Structure 1
Amino acid sequence: MSLTEKPVETAERRSFYDKIDSSSYTALWTVLSNIITPEPRSGCVPHLWHFDEAKSYLLEAGGLITAEEAERRVLVLENPGLRGQSRITTSLYAGLQVVMPGEVAPAHRHSQSALRFVLDGCGAHTSVDGERTVMQFGDFVITPPGAWHDHGNDSDAPMIWLDGLDIPIVSVFDASFAEEHHADQQPITRQPEDSTWRYGANMLPVDYEPTRVSSPIFNYPYERSREALDHLLKQGEIDPFHGIKMRYINPVDGGWAMPTISPCLQLLPKGFKTQPYRSTDATVFVVTEGTGRSVINGKTYEWGPKDLFVVPSWHTVTHEADSDGVMFSYSDRVCQEKLGLWREDRGNAVPLNA
């Protein structure tokens, strides 16, 4: 018996397989090499979406359907290898949402965790469980599972952001619930940025008891995160595979900011090229600054500001920046770590100095 080869199929065996099939049985030895594979095997494929094209489609959609009628006016980024499944990787969802000036995306809540990463425009807002925050370019915003949330745009220009959700993960467990609020916008019961002041100053209320599985902070401003990358670059400790890469954390326990999604922000200095790297967490990348290219399993993808691309599980990737490049990314690494599944291949490289 082999993990990679199936036993020879004889007429007698085929007859047996047909007989047990009628009673909803399958012989393990006929499918073992397909369900327990020597290395990750996925329908997910590398792909890059150019933001300029996406924006033109979103603005066209803005003239076809209102945010209220659509509930969420979003274009799903479907992986070419997983079409019809509303997935960018086998475990994660991605979509680009536009809210036009004066519009409201109505309040609702659901079992799925969601992130927002702002790509275009400024001054729109999102509200989560009674607290409102203004959204600026590059901000990373969390909507915890089960939290009421709505979005509004009081600015004079369209607002576009990336939605990242764990929809496929929740679907695996058949645990999806969703509910509409009785009003388009939920009541605001907290001061603006309350969660940032309460939990984002390296302090917690003295009697704090966690009520969520995700971070109690729900807006991580880009300006502050970007500044941290610059300070680390001056220190000169550049990872050969990632440049300067930081994870967004939950201040309560120092873990990942979300229970099922691992968000990060990284800086690739001008002229820097990463060494070949692969890991089991298929990853979505969003370019916020700079131009360059990524080579995924031997194929080159040229990227610029606001472009998005996906690196499937266990695909070798290198990144090269023509100018200082900054990329937001998210994956299911946190889930894999909790289950003892996550693995990376770094070879024998040593840290570099700037």
Structure 2
Amino acid sequence: MQELYDLLDAAGMGNGWNKPEPSLYPSPKKTFVPAHWSYALAKPALDAAGRFVSTELAERRNLILFNPIPGNTYATARTLVAAYQMVMPGETARSHRHSPNALRLVMDTAPGAYTIVQGRKVPMVPGDVLLTPNWSWHGHANESEACAYWIDFLDVPLVHFLEPMFFEHYPGGLEEASVVDEASPMRFPFAEVRARLESQPESRPGQRELTLGPPSIDTMALTVSRLEAGRSLASPRTTASSIFAVIQGRGRSLVDDKELVWSRGDVFVVPSWCSHAYQPEETTYVLRVSDEPLMRSLHWLREG
């Protein structure tokens, strides 16, 4: 039998009856782990990077939130990545476009910070969510006197896996834009989202939810939740992977058996098929970015 295995190896074939590990299994494997990243640590780290790393030197001055599993240096979850980013006063981040979809949650800015999407300035106000769908030209400009901080979310790991990656710089650097488009369809102002949440019925006691869109992104679902203090809010396991960012508030989450303590600006990940329970300590607003649309389109979305 070993002689047969040797011949198969030499021919680039593997036997299907004696695999090193099963290719099919009765429930999802949990490769990615629950993890948490602190905005209170990231913000001074970005400030320090600002003294050494210019936007001319780097495509983006950002901190990638990689899941702490062996061999991983990029993805936050299987299909998604998150990163903290900062642009200093008077700086620009040159325009580019790429296959991955992207969005950002604005954390701390002053009036005069913009994302430029398809030639229009979209204001960056704390709590806002801004979209840059795939192959849209986008860059950043900070005309204020304060640093601008936000959290990026992209489906780059999915594009890496499937391999349809394309990327281009905008000719000449930053795309010119003179029109400030406060009503851009690519912007979900937090003031409006919060007001709409107040009028939403509870999805369960202590939680109101609002799905952002249209427009929407084919691979990522965006949901903002309002959580009441003192509640324990458990969610069923799902095959979707989710990254959470705290817009306002503080509390903790129990993800499987790992406790994550979070506050404003923090990011945490609930990988596929992990249980999750919120325990907000004050009224909290949190953004959830998940790959639910992808799972649903492939008929792989399942709860348990």
- When normalised by structure 1's length, the TM-score is 0.81
Within the candidate set 123, 127, 131, 2:116 is matched to 127
Q: Which stretches of structure 1, 4 residues or more, deviate above 6 A after TM superposition?
A: none
Distance 2:51 2:245 in 1: 26
Q: Which residue of 2 aligns with 1:161?
A: 150
Aligned counterparts of 1:119 and 1:50: Cα–Cα separation in 2: 13
In 1, Cα distance between equivalents of 2:64 and 2:7: 43
Q: CA deviation at 1:81?
A: 1.3
Greater relative contact order (Cα < 8 A, sep 6+)? 2
Specify the SS of the correspondent of 2:76.
Answer: coil
Aligned pair partner of 1:88 in 76, 80, 104? 76
| Higher helix fraction (1 or 2) | 1
Contact 1:44 1:82 in 2 (8 A): no
User: Following the alignment from structure 2 to structure 1, what is the Cα–Cα distance between the partners of residues 72 and 256?
Assistant: 25
Structure 1 position 16, deviation (Å): 2.7
Aligned partners of 2:277, 2:160: CA distance in 1, in Å?
Answer: 32
Q: Secondary structure at the match of 1:67?
A: coil
Match for residue 243 of structure 1 among 176, 186, 207: 207
- Percent identity between matched residues is 31
Report the Cα distance in structure 2 between the residues aligned to 1:262 and 1:250, rounded to whole angstroms: 11
Partner secondary structure for residue 192 of structure 2? helix
The answer to whether the Cα contact below 8 Å between 1:42 and 1:90 also exists between their aligned partners in 2 is no
TM-score, length basis structure 2: 0.94
Of 29-38 and 260-269, the range deviating more from structure 2: 29-38
- RMSD of the TM alignment (CA)? 1.8
Answer with 270-279 or 29-38: which moved more. 29-38
2:122–2:182 contact (8 Å) kept in structure 1:
no
Q: Quick one: distance in 2 between partners of 1:83 and 1:267?
A: 36
Q: 1:227 aligns with which of 182, 191, 195?
A: 195
Residue 130 of structure 2 aligns to which amino acid in structure 1? V
Alpha carbons 2:61, 2:87 under 8 Å: kept: yes
Specify the structure having the higher radius of gyration (Cα). Answer: 1
In the alignment, residue 212 of structure 2 is paired with which amino acid?
Y
- Rounded Cα–Cα distance in structure 2 between residues aligned with 1:139 and 1:159: 13
How far apart, CA to CA, are the structure 2 residues paired with 1:40 and 1:80? 19
Instruction: Tell me how far 1:43 sits from its aligned partner.
Output: 2.0
Question: Which stretches in structure 2 are left out of the alignment for 5+ residues?
Answer: none
Which of residues 152, 160, 165 in structure 1 aligns to 2:141? 152
Q: Residue 87 of structure 1 aligns to a residue in which SS?
A: coil
Judged with a 3 Å threshold, the aligned counterparts in structure 2 of structure 1 residues 194 and 324 are, in CA distance, closer, same or farther, namely closer
Task: Measure, in 1, the Cα distance between the counterparts of 2:128 and 2:74.
Answer: 24
1:146-295 equivalence runs, <5 A: 146-188=135-177, 191-193=179-181, 196=184, 217-232=185-200, 235=201, 237-239=202-204, 243-250=207-214, 257-295=216-254
